[in-house]
């Protein structure tokens, strides 16, 4: 019998016996001795199954002003409203069919809690126009960002368009707090 802090137990459990048999370890017919010292080990057992699903973030209803026709300058096309503190995933869809006269610029903005100033912004030129014909464009953006309490994401057009058509959706999902 080992000396020191070893403890005597009668028999291993059926699960332990099965695992030891799978690993090729022959269990002794007599008593077992366990040490109170824990040694790091890794045991791989094909009987244990862990199901994992890998997918993109699951988004709910989008934030959107809907389809906007003839938007004035600085029209908010989509606004998440106040968000909770945490790490968020965003998926933004921008569809634009501007008039020939407009060189469209749309801006994605991360706003402060008072919705009074941008924390950061990014300007998007979703459409290339020719002199005679306007073009349809659809742009999407996917990113994750840390947001403080009551901050928001929004999209607005920076140029008025007397005969254009725009539609922006912001899908957001809280990843962690």
Q: Is the CB of residue 168 less than 8 Å from the CB of residue 155?
A: yes
User: Tens digit of pLDDT for each residue in 153-167?
Assistant: 999 988 877 778 889
Q: Between 42 and 170, whose confidence is greater? A: 170
Average pLDDT over residues 4-19: 64
Give me the pLDDT at residue 144, please. 94
Q: Between 49 and 83, whose confidence is greater? A: 83
Sequence ranges of the domains in the chain:
67-176
User: Tens digit of pLDDT for each residue in 59-116?
Assistant: 888 999 999 998 889 999 999 999 999 999 999 999 888 776 556 789 999 999 999 9
User: Tens digit of pLDDT for each residue in 12-22?
Assistant: 677 777 777 77
pTM for the full predicted model: 0.66
Give me the pLDDT at residue 21, please. 76
Which position has the token pair 């017919």? 29
Give me the pLDDT at residue 89, please. 93
Which position has the token pair 């690993």? 23
DSSP reduced 3-state for 14: helix
- Strands 118-124 and 106-111 come out as antiparallel
DSSP reduced 3-state for 16: helix
66 alpha carbon, distance to own chain's centre: 24
Instruction: From the options 3.90.650.10, 2.60.120.40, 3.40.50.150, 3.30.70.20, give the CATH code of 67-176.
Output: 2.60.120.40
- Give how far Cα 114 sits from Cα of 119, 126, 146, 173, Å: 11, 29, 17, 21
Q: Between 2 and 36, whose confidence is greater? A: 36
Average pLDDT, the chain: 81
Helix (H) or strand (E) holding 21, with range, is helix 14-22
Integer Cα distance of 152 and 20 in angstroms:
56
Output the CA torsion sign for 61, 66, 72, 73. positive
- Strands 76-79 and 32-34 come out as unpaired
Give me the pLDDT at residue 148, please. 97
What's the half-sphere exposure (Cβ side, CA atoms, 13 Å) at 124? 20
Q: Is the pLDDT of residue 142 over 60?
A: yes
């Amino acid at each position: 019998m080992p000396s020191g802090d070893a403890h005597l137990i009668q028999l291993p459990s059926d699960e332990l016996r099965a695992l030891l048999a799978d690993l090729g370890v022959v269990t002794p017919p007599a008593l077992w001795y366990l040490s109170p010292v824990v040694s790091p080990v890794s045991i791989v057992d094909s009987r244990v199954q862990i199901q994992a699903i890998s997918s993109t973030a699951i988004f709910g209803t989008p934030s959107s002003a809907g389809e906007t026709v003839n938007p004035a300058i600085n029209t908010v096309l989509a606004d998440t409203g106040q968000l909770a503190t945490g790490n968020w995933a965003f998926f933004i869809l921008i569809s634009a069919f501007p008039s020939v006269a407009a060189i469209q610029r749309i801006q994605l903005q991360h706003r402060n809690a008072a919705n009074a100033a941008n924390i950061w912004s990014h300007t998007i030129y979703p459409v290339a126009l020719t002199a005679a014909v306007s073009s349809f464009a659809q742009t999407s953006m996917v990113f994750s960002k840390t947001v403080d309490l009551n901050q928001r994401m929004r999209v607005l057009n920076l140029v008025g368009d007397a005969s254009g058509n725009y539609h922006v959706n912001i899908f957001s999902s809280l990843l962690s707090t």
